[in-house]
Chain A
Amino acid sequence: MPHTLAEKILLAHTEADDVRPGDVVMVRCDVVMANDVSGPVAFRAMEKMGASRVFDPSKVVMVADHFMPAKDARSAELQKRLKDWSDAQGVMFYGQGRGGIEHTLLCEEGWIVPGSVIAGGDSHTCTYGALGAFGTGLGSTDIAACLVFGEFWQAVPSTIQIEFVGEKQPFVTGKDLILAVIGELGVGGATNAALEFVGEGAEALSIDERLAVSNMAVEAGAETGLFPADEKVGEYLAGRTDRPWTADRSDPGAEFVRELRIDLGGVPPLVALPHLPGNVVPVADAAGTKIDQVYMGNCSNGTMTDLRQAAEILRGRRVHPDCRMIVVPATQRIYREAMKEGLLDVFVEAGAMVSTPTCGACFGGGMGVLGAGERAVATTNRNFRGRMGSPEAEVFLANAWVAAAAAVAGEIVDPAEVLAGVSA
C-alpha cells in the first residue's frame, strides 16, 4: 500500500508491520530534546516513574534558551538543574553563550537528519520537518517517557499536502507562505494531520525559509510539517553531521486527507493580526497601524536570511523615534556571522537593540515584553493574547522585511515603500 512520507518515517520507527492514519503506535526517537522550561518538569516525572538513567545519552540533548540568560533567581535555578542533570546523565547540554534557540541550533549542529524522529519538549519541534525529519512537540511527561524508554505513543497522522506553484513575489518569504497556509486551513485545520510541502515553490525555498515554514505547522494544529529532503538539504548537512540518512518522499498514489495548491504569484507579504496566527491579511490591509516595538528573532525567523533582509531595510535608515526594535539572532553562530558581516552594526547604527540568542520576549519570558496598550510587529510564530506580555498588548506576525519596514516607519507599511524612500 502506498504511504505518505510521514507514514513511512513512523513505520520505520515502530514494531508495527504497517501503519494507517489513526493507528496508535509506539514510536522510537532518534533524538529527545528539552529546554529549561520543559526539562525540569520532565525530570520530576522521570523520578516519579522510578527511573534514574536515560535510555541512550547520545540521543538526548538539553538546551537552555527560554529564560536564558536567567531573568531571575528561579530561572537561574532551572538552568542550573538542567545543566546538573545533563552532566549527571552524560548528555549534551547547550548553555548560555554556547548554543542559542533550540530548533535553529539543533539543525545547525547536525542533530537532525532526514527520516529521523525527534521528540521535543517544545511545540515548535515541528521545525525539523524542514530537513525531512518527523519532529514533533510533546509535553514534559511525554518527554520523561522518551528519556526513559526512547519512545512515545503517537496516533499516526493523516497528511495534508500543500503544493506551492509559481514564483514568490518581491518581499515575500517562507513566513508568508506558511501564514497563507494557516490562513487557509485555520488554527485547527490540520489537527491529527501532518503537513507536507511540495512543488516548485517549495523546492525553490532555501533551508532558512523552509525552517520558517515548518516551524509554524503547529499553528495550524499539525503534528509536523515535512519537506521531502533534496540536494539543498544534502548541501546543508554536509560537514554538520555524520548521522546516516536517506532522502525520501511520499509514494505515488499515497492518500492525502486534503490537497491544497497555493499559487505564489498571488501571495503578497502577509500579516497575522491579533490574536491568532490564522488571522491573516495582506500587509496592505494592516498598513498604517502604529507600532511601539518590532521584535525580530525566535525559532522561526532569526536566521541569517532574516537578518540580511532586515539589514537591507535598515541600512542608512533609522528606527522611528516612537518605535523601538529588538533584534535576536537565533544562535551564537548566527550572531557571530551577522557580526562579521556587519549586520549587527547596521542594526545598532539604526537605533535597534541587538540581543544575544534567547526565546525571551517571544513568549513573554523577558528581554523585551510588552506593556498594556502596546503593539508589536514580531517575526515570531504566535500572537495569542498576552503572548509577549500584557493581555492588553497586541502582536502582529510578519516576515523580516515587513518587521524592519515597520520599525523605520513606526507603523505597518509595505516594505517596498520604505525601500523606495516613500515616507510613511
Chain B
Amino acid sequence: MIIEGRAVVIAGDDLDTDVMYPGAYLNIDDPEQMKPYLFEGFDPSLRDELGDDALIVTGANFGIGSSREHVVQAMKAWGVRGVVGKSFARIFRRNCVNLGLPILACPDAAEAARPGSRVRVDTDTGAVEVDGQTFQAQAIPQLVLELQASGGLVPWARERLSS
C-alpha cells in the first residue's frame, strides 16, 4: 500500500499518550467526539495542521504510557493517513496497527521531515520518501503486514469470523 501526505511534525522524544489525549476526556467512547481533545495537553494548535492529507512524524519512543486507544482513534477521526517516527512505544504501535493506521519506524526519514514536507510511504517495502529523498524503514513482521493489508484488526477479525 502506498500512502502519501503532508508532514505534521510532533517534535521531541518520549512523548506520552497523556499529553496527546489527557485523562479527563477518557470518558468519551465515540471517536468523533474525541477529535477536539487530541494534542490537548501538548500543543492544541497542532490540530489546526491536521486534515485528510496529514501524515504525522514523531521523534523517538513516541506514545509511551497509557494504553488509551483514544489517541489513535482521534488521529483517525481527523483523517491522519499514517505515522512515521524514530521509534515507538509498544502499545501505541499496536494501537496504530490494530486500527489500520500505517506506522513505520524510520529514524532517518523522521529526522529529515519538516512541517509540510511531502512524505510517501510504501508500507509493503518500507521505503519512505521525504521531499524526494528515500529512506528505508525497519522491517515489519509478516503478521503485522497482513494485519495492515487487511486494514487492521477489525476487518481481519471479520474475515476470520466469516471463514
- Show the binding face of A for B, using Cβ within 8 Å: 22, 24, 36-38, 40-41, 44-45, 48-51, 66-67, 71-72, 74-75, 78, 121-123, 137-142, 144-145, 148-149, 153, 155, 187-188, 191-192, 218-219, 221, 223, 276, 363-365, 369, 382, 384-387, 389, 391
Closest partner residue, chain A, to B98 (CB atom): A141
Chain B residues closer than 8 Å to A145, beta-carbon distance: 98, 153, 157
User: Which residues on B sit within 8 Å (CB–CB) of A141?
Assistant: 69, 95, 98-99, 152-154
Is B152 in contact with A382, judged by CB distance below 8 angstroms? Answer: no
Indicate which residue in B23, B42, B95, B157 contacts A139 across the interface (CB closer than 8 Å): B95
Residue of A whose beta carbon sits closest to that of B26: A37
**A residues in contact with B64, CB < 8 Å:** 187-188, 221
* A222 closest partner in B (C-beta): B90
- List, in ascending order, chain A residues with CB within 8 A of B94's CB: 138-139, 142
Do residues A191 and B61 form an inter-chain contact, with CB atoms below 8 A? yes
A192 with B98: in contact, given A148-B161, A363-B18, A364-B23 (CB under 8 Å)? no
Residues of A near B147 (CB, < 8 A) are 153
User: What does the 1/0 interface line of B7-46 toward A look like (CB < 8 Å)?
Assistant: 0000000101011001110111100000000000110000
Q: Mark B137-163, 1 if CB is under 8 A from A, else 0.
A: 000011110010000111001101110
Please state if A139 and B41 are interface contacts (CB–CB under 8 Å).
Answer: no
What residues of chain A lie closer than 8 Å to B99, measured between beta carbons? 141
Given contacts A24-B142, A141-B99, 16 further A-B contacts (CB under 8 A): A37-B26, A45-B153, A49-B153, A50-B161, A74-B27, A141-B153, A149-B157, A153-B147, A187-B64, A221-B64, A363-B18, A364-B22, A364-B24, A365-B23, A384-B19, A391-B19
**Contact of A387 with B23 in the complex, beta carbons under 8 Å:** yes
Contact A41 B70 (CB under 8 A): yes
B50 at interface, CB cutoff 8 A: no
Given contacts A40-B29, A49-B157, contact A385 B61 (CB under 8 A): no
Say yes or no for B66: interface residue by CB 8 A criterion.
Answer: yes
A391 proximity list for chain B (CB < 8 A): 19, 41
A41-B73, A141-B98, A391-B41 known; A75 and B27 CB under 8 Å?
yes
* Chain B residues whose C-beta falls within 8 Å of the C-beta of A41 in the assembled complex: 29, 69-70, 73
Given contacts A188-B64, A191-B90, contact A44 B29 (CB under 8 A): yes
Cβ–Cβ contact B29 & A49, under 8 A: no
Contact B24 A123 (CB under 8 A): no
4 interchain residue pairs of minimum CB distance: A188-B61, A363-B23, A386-B41, A364-B23
B65: A residues at CB distance < 8 A: 123, 218-219, 382, 384
The verdict on B68 contacting chain A, using a C-beta distance below 8 Å, is: yes
- Taking the nearest CB of chain A, how far is it from the CB of B145, in angstroms? 10
Please indicate the chain A residues that have their CB under 8 angstroms from the CB of B73 in the complex.
Answer: 41
Residue B87, interface by CB 8 Å: yes
CB distance from B12 to the nearest CB of A (A): 11
B154 touches A48 (CB 8 A): yes
**Can you list 22 A-B pairs, Cβ within 8 angstroms, ordered by A?**
A37-B27, A38-B67, A48-B154, A50-B157, A50-B158, A67-B27, A137-B67, A139-B69, A139-B91, A140-B67, A142-B94, A142-B98, A144-B157, A145-B98, A188-B14, A188-B87, A219-B65, A221-B61, A276-B14, A363-B23, A365-B23, A369-B24
- The verdict on B72 contacting chain A, using a C-beta distance below 8 Å, is yes
Size range of the chain B interface in the assembly: 35 or more
Alpha-carbon gap, A78 to B33, bound state (A): 14
Output the least CB separation between B87 and chain A (Å): 7
Is A221 a contact partner of B26 (Cβ separation < 8 A)?
no
Contact (Cβ within 8 A) B160 A149: yes
Question: Hey, which chain B residues are within 8 Å of A123, CB to CB?
Answer: 65-67, 91
Whether B89 is near chain A, meaning CB under 8 Å from some CB there, is yes
Min C-beta distance of A301 to chain B, whole Å: 17
The answer to whether the Cβ of B77 comes within 8 Å of any Cβ in the partner chain is: no
| In the complex, residue of chain B having the shortest beta-carbon distance to the beta carbon of A125 | B67
Checking A44, A71, A121, A148 against B157 with a beta-carbon cut-off of 8 angstroms, the contacting residue is A148
Contacts of B42 in A (CB 8 A): 385
Q: Tell me whether B143 and A153 are in contact (CB under 8 A).
A: yes
**Interchain nearest-CB distance for A112 vs B (Å):** 18
Return chain B residues, CB-CB under 8 Å to A24. 141-144
Nearest to A365 among chain B residues (CB) is B23
Question: Once the chains are docked, how many angstroms separate the CA of A50 from the CA of B163?
Answer: 12
Question: Shortest beta-carbon distance, A22 to chain B, in Å?
Answer: 8
Checking B18, B27, B61, B162 against A78 with a beta-carbon cut-off of 8 angstroms, the contacting residue is B27
Which of A40, A149, A187 is the one whose CB lies under 8 Å from B61?
A187
B68 and A37 contact, CB distance less than 8 A: yes
Q: Are A138 and B91 in contact (CB under 8 A)?
A: yes
CB-contact partner of A221 in B23, B90, B157, under 8 A: B90
Chain A residues with CB below 8 A from B18, complex form: 363-364, 382, 384-387
- Can you name the residue of chain B whose Cβ is closest to the Cβ of A120? B67
